[in-house]
Structure formats: structure tokens, C-alpha cells
């Protein structure tokens, strides 16, 4: 319960954001942007200083999110975003910040 069934065009984007991206509100920025685009998934800090974003939705919205992540919030300094694409699984009911 609480999971969404993926549509036929649902994709999953996994983005690993590198740079000065922790301690600058990046997770809140990513959640706000992803939610505004109607995406579902999560964002979390990784132990190595990167931020991981996993989002599911239509390709157009996911590409918009990827472009936004490459810029980041004004306090961040994004050096690189590594993106991996796959099929959406409908595993998320909203977009959340994970610890």
C-alpha cells in the first residue's frame, strides 16, 4: 500500500551529484523541485559527500530535474552529476528526504 503503479512510460533516474552539495540545502532544493515536477522518489546524503537522487516519472520531467540538479541551489557548487536510467518500478508514493 502507498506505492504507485508505474505507467508504461515511467522511468527511473538515479543521479549522483558531486561537489559542494552537503550542508547547503541541496536535499530540500531537490525535494521541492522534484515534487513541483510531479516526480516520486527520494534524495539523501551519501557518506562520501555526494548526494543521491532517485526519481521516477515521465522522461521529460526527469530530464528537467536532471538539468536543475546540474545547477543546484545557489549555495551549492555542483562539479558533476552522474545519471543512470532504468525502468520505473512504482516503488514510491511521494518524493522524500531520506537520512
Query: Is 4 within the bounds of a domain?
Result: no
Question: Looking at the domain assignment, is residue 94 inside a domain?
Answer: no
27, 31, 40, 59: the catalytic one is 27
Give a yes or no: residue 95 inside a domain: no
Domain count, the chain: 1
Residue 92 lies in a domain: no
| Active-site annotation holds for 9 | no
CB 51, CB 17: distance < 8 Å: yes
In a domain, 17, yes or no: yes
User: Which pLDDT tens digit goes with each residue over 21-79?
Assistant: 999 999 999 999 999 999 999 999 999 999 999 999 999 999 999 999 999 999 999 99
Comparing CA positions, the residue from 36, 30, 39, 43 lying closest to residue 57 is 39
Question: Residue 6 domain-assigned?
Answer: no
- What is the reported pLDDT for 25? 97
Output the domain CATH number for residue 64: 3.30.70.100
Report pLDDT for 9. Answer: 79
Is 48 catalytic? The answer is no
pLDDT band at residue 15, thresholds of 50, 70 and 90?
A: very high
Q: Please give the Cα distance from 44 to 47 (Å, whole number).
A: 10
Q: Which among 45, 59, 71, 98 is annotated as catalytic?
A: 45
Q: Which domain holds residue 30?
A: 11-86
pLDDT score recorded for residue 2: 47
Amino acid at each position: 500500500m502507498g506505492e504507485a503503479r508505474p505507467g508504461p512510460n515511467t522511468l527511473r533516474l538515479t543521479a549522483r551529484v558531486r561537489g559542494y552539495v552537503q550542508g547547503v540545502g541541496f536535499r530540500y532544493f531537490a525535494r521541492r523541485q522534484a515534487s513541483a515536477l510531479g516526480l516520486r522518489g527520494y534524495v539523501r546524503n551519501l557518506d562520501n559527500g555526494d548526494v543521491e537522487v532517485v526519481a521516477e516519472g515521465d522522461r521529460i520531467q526527469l530530464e528537467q530535474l536532471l538539468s536543475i540538479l546540474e545547477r543546484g541551489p545557489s549555495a551549492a557548487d555542483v562539479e558533476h552529476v552522474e545519471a543512470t536510467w532504468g525502468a520505473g518500478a512504482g516503488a514510491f508514493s511521494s518524493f522524500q528526504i531520506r537520512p
